[in-house]
Structure 1
């Protein structure tokens, strides 16, 4: 058996033993705000789900936050129907800007994966290893500079790191993003350069970035 075949077999074994878990009530330091359910997108549910191994990493990340702060989960595992609805909505928005087909494809690839039912070549969220989240204090969500699913340059992870002469508010935004990145990366996740809210563990994107074998392929509910 080749090393590659052995690696794939090990990954598939892990994949089969790591089910999706509900994120509701898994930790006093994690809240769930199912964003797409609240937007009434097809295929969404009034909960968020991740692989068991990813949940364990998420709990560790939450425990690294300073007292009085929590993680707020906006999205985890995502159905094909929800992925398709998002893809179509973003594509329509870009088409309305009269961009060329090439530019539309370039822009859309930054923010949303092509919908697929192929569990061997899944979009990141179909694996249950991708999570969208933010941080909240006792009163509200922390200021991260943009809303969730803001598809502008300001949503880039290091937008405020690259900007010179920050205002006091911008310094706060930068520090909030730094905190989210710090606790997530220390727990084993990788960040996304285009979206401050998106982190991966165990899927192909994570494997490519870390040099590890893929742990999670697509999974159906």
Structure 2
């Protein structure tokens, strides 16, 4: 049985060159719509915010979907898992990165390009659809999640989703010298989410309490896996389905 009170361990910032060097052996699982489940609460945050090209559905690889179901079923009575984002179109990744980069540059005009990129990357990965170094959310292995109560009220996680703040670090509320009542509640809510996700094999990005990975290069780096399971993936269109079917039919006829 999962312990939801275990303290969240301090995790180092990812070694991004090492992450990028991890090979990918894609098992070609398709993307699966998460809102088909009655167990998960799905709230596509970027679509609701009006972000251009954001989708009104959240998709993940099938193994990620199955693990999210187990997380949701393991939570304490009355607590529900909410999926805010999962697979992203490239255009959304580009928009998020550029928007945060520009905002940081505006408020910290003395930072050089390397410093700006470092700060931005703590919250948004550089957009990449490369077969060898894809952005985590372009693989269908990364998910952004939070918790709500039985009636749909957000549990207090200390910051808003996507808040670019030191307070967003997953273990931030483990480090306080003095705790107010609210601090303790936030700490416990984050522990519940972290321990439930970790128990199902997800890794966490230490700068974001909401971001978890399974199967992508970031997950492989955190867990010591020899290879990532997921590279970049696209939603299937009718055109690609037809072409794949025709290729398979042609191959069968030739044999």
Instruction: With the length of structure 1 as denominator, give the TM-score of the two structures.
Output: 0.91
Q: 2:231 aligns with which of 214, 217, 221?
A: 217
- Any conservation in 2 of the 1:129–1:203 contact (CA below 8 Å)? yes
Verify: 1:92 aligned to 2:102, yes or no: yes
Q: Which residue of 2 aligns with 1:112?
A: 124
SS of structure 2 residue aligned to 1:143: coil
1:174-214 alpha-carbon deviations (Å, 9 max, x no partner) = 00000000000001101111000000000001111112221
The separation in 1 between residues aligned to 2:110 and 2:97, in whole angstroms, is 16
Cα displacement (A) at 1:120:
3.0
The separation in 2 between residues aligned to 1:66 and 1:215, in whole angstroms, is 30
Q: 1:136 aligns with which of 139, 144, 148?
A: 148
Q: Which has the higher contact order (CA 8 A, sep 6+)?
A: 2
- Any conservation in 2 of the 1:49–1:128 contact (CA below 8 Å)? yes
Verify: 1:25 aligned to 2:36, yes or no: yes
The separation in 1 between residues aligned to 2:71 and 2:129, in whole angstroms, is 30
- Any conservation in 2 of the 1:27–1:59 contact (CA below 8 Å)? no
Q: Which residue of 2 aligns with 1:202?
A: 215
Q: Is the radius of gyration larger for structure 1 or structure 2?
A: 2
The separation in 1 between residues aligned to 2:202 and 2:158, in whole angstroms, is 22
User: 1:14-93 alignment to 2 at 5 Å?
Assistant: 14=27, 16=28, 18-28=29-39, 30-93=40-103
Instruction: With the length of structure 2 as denominator, give the TM-score of the two structures.
Output: 0.79
SS of structure 2 residue aligned to 1:111: coil
CA distance 1:203–1:166, shift in 2 (3 Å): same
SS of structure 1 residue aligned to 2:36: coil
- Any gaps of 5 or more consecutive residues in structure 2? 1-21, 236-255
The separation in 2 between residues aligned to 1:216 and 1:27, in whole angstroms, is 26
- Aligned Cα root-mean-square deviation (Å): 1.5
- More deviation, 94-103/148-157: 94-103
Give every structure 1 segment of 4 or more consecutive aligned residues whose post-TM-superposition deviation is greater than 3 Å: none
- Any gaps of 5 or more consecutive residues in structure 1? 1-6
Across the two proteins, how many residue pairs are aligned to each other? 210
Cα displacement (A) at 1:69:
1.2
- Any conservation in 2 of the 1:48–1:74 contact (CA below 8 Å)? yes
